[in-house]
Structure 1
Amino acid sequence: MSEITQLTIAGEAHLHFAEEICTMMEQAAQQRGTGIAKRSPLYVSAKMLEGKAVIAISNGRPVGFCYIETWGHGMYVANSGLIVHPDFRNTGLARRIKEEIFKLSRKTFPEAKIFGITTSLAVMKINSDLGYKPVTFSELTTDEDFWKGCQSCRNYDILTRTDRSHCLCTGMLYDPDKKPKVEAQKPSKEERWERFKRFMKFEGFKEGADRLRQKIKNKSNNLKSNKSSWLKIPLF
């Protein structure tokens, strides 16, 4: 297997790869036995010219691809058509492509919600690491053009029978307005050890104990009772 020589935003220089990319998508759909919406070379070429696609190239051939779709007047963005050549699967290339297309989406459409539907557990894991959350289909875009894109999927009948409530795909959504909470940084092992040593030294402990003893003694002197034996009881 050759190394990836280029992972970049697709452009005019990559238009001649459009047909080969579409063939890769169709073959992947047949191998998986699950749905991948078909796209024409013309459609893929348009995404390249718009600067809304990421392509991976090795030895002068395309080995990975993904593109951006927008819905609801830019309120929703989908990272679609993720494909990796069979020779480059399980190499981390899919994650690299997803990370690049995600960054491109955030840069180009910073206010948009980014969503996707997939049957791939690997893609779900990547999406989750990027901040996506599983959601019902009702939380995705209602743009009819998006759902029409599912018509070429072999599982489209399931989607229609359920009134678009669910299918074999899982819906996932990244909402820029719901950024994950930053967890408080845990102290290092060295910091915990230093805290423990300070605790063992009882810093300020003796001084505080002496003040407490004096306070109790002064109060007891004001009492008429001579029964002060309780003071002999060790306090610490």
Structure 2
Amino acid sequence: MILRVANAADAQYVETLCQWYEQSAKQRGVGIAKRDPNYLIKKMERGDAIIAFLDDQLAGFCYIETFEDNKFVVNSGLIVNTELRKEGLGRAIKHRVFELSRTKYPQAKIFGITTSGPVMKINSELGYRPVTFQDLTQSDDFWKGCGSCKNYQILQDNNRKMCLCTGMVYDNLNDQFAQQPQETINFIEEPQQH
């Protein structure tokens, strides 16, 4: 398995990833926001995503976004190839995107919202805790991303204070990532070939 920071060359996988997001929402019967292909490409170009391969086959993806002047970072869009689920790949991707978030933004709280039990379990393992939506970013840009979710009206009816998703936050800003200067942390990148 290869887990690495995505880059501009990975744009070739965006159409497949967008199809996976739609299929996942239909299969699980839960609300999941659709992803814009150009948005995913920007995440790749900026090095704000983790992409996974198994035997040279696209296996999974997750990206990060910042809000409120880097006060909050969301790990979003975790998706795993349906044929490769139950292999621990989602957990591995979540761990990698968590490391990327803590490395790039060591003073930011990491958060997410999800309806997925397995994602909640992984988040708990990483040190996230459940919180009310008031403890999450209040950025309109973040909440606009929920607009394509089938449960969006519930969120709107509750003035963005609750929905069917569970909000979770990692806010231990004194962990090992905060103790190291950002530019010295290179473990996320692939080793260079000589």
* Bucket of the pairwise TM-score, normalised by the shorter protein: 0.7 to 0.9
Q: Is the radius of gyration larger for structure 1 or structure 2?
A: 1
Listed as ranges, the gaps of 5+ residues in structure 2 are 176-194
Listed as ranges, the gaps of 5+ residues in structure 1 are 180-236
Asked if 1:172 is matched to 2:164, the reply is no
Q: Indicate the residue corresponding to 1:89 in structure 2.
A: 85
| 8 Å Cα contact 1:22-1:39 kept in structure 2 | yes
| 8 Å Cα contact 1:112-1:176 kept in structure 2 | no
Structure-2 separation of matches of 1:60 and 1:88 = 13
Residues 201-233 of structure 1 deviation map (CA, whole Å, 9 limit, x = unaligned)? xxxxxxxxxxxxxxxxxxxxxxxxxxxxxxxxx
Asked if 1:161 is matched to 2:132, the reply is no
Residues 87-126 of structure 1 deviation map (CA, whole Å, 9 limit, x = unaligned)? 1111100000000000000000000000000001110010
Q: Indicate the residue corresponding to 1:212 in structure 2.
A: none
Q: Indicate the residue corresponding to 1:232 in structure 2.
A: none
> Residue 178 of structure 1: CA displacement?
7.2
Q: Indicate the residue corresponding to 1:63 in structure 2.
A: 59
Q: Which has the higher contact order (CA 8 A, sep 6+)?
A: 2
The alignment's C-alpha RMSD in Å is 1.2
| 8 Å Cα contact 1:134-1:170 kept in structure 2 | yes
1:164 match: secondary structure: coil
Asked if 1:106 is matched to 2:105, the reply is no
| 8 Å Cα contact 2:51-2:62 kept in structure 1 | yes
Structure-2 separation of matches of 1:178 and 1:131 = 13
> Residue 55 of structure 1: CA displacement?
0.6
Aligned equivalent of 2:39, options 22, 43, 47: 43
Asked if 1:31 is matched to 2:30, the reply is no
Relative to its length, the structure with more strand (as a share) is 2
> Residue 59 of structure 1: CA displacement?
4.1
Structure-2 separation of matches of 1:19 and 1:160 = 30
Q: Indicate the residue corresponding to 2:119 in structure 1.
A: 123
Q: Indicate the residue corresponding to 1:73 in structure 2.
A: 69
Amino acid at match of 1:134: P
Structure-1 separation of matches of 2:156 and 2:89 = 33
Amino acid at match of 1:79: N
List structure 1 segments (4+ residues) > 4 angstroms apart after TM superposition.
none
Q: Indicate the residue corresponding to 1:134 in structure 2.
A: 130
1:29 match: secondary structure: helix
| 8 Å Cα contact 2:25-2:32 kept in structure 1 | yes
- Count of paired positions: 175
Amino acid at match of 1:159: L
Structure-2 separation of matches of 1:11 and 1:105 = 16
TM-score, normalising length: structure 1: 0.72
2:172 match: secondary structure: coil
Residues 125-160 of structure 1 deviation map (CA, whole Å, 9 limit, x = unaligned)? 100010101000000001001001000000001101
> Residue 61 of structure 1: CA displacement?
3.1
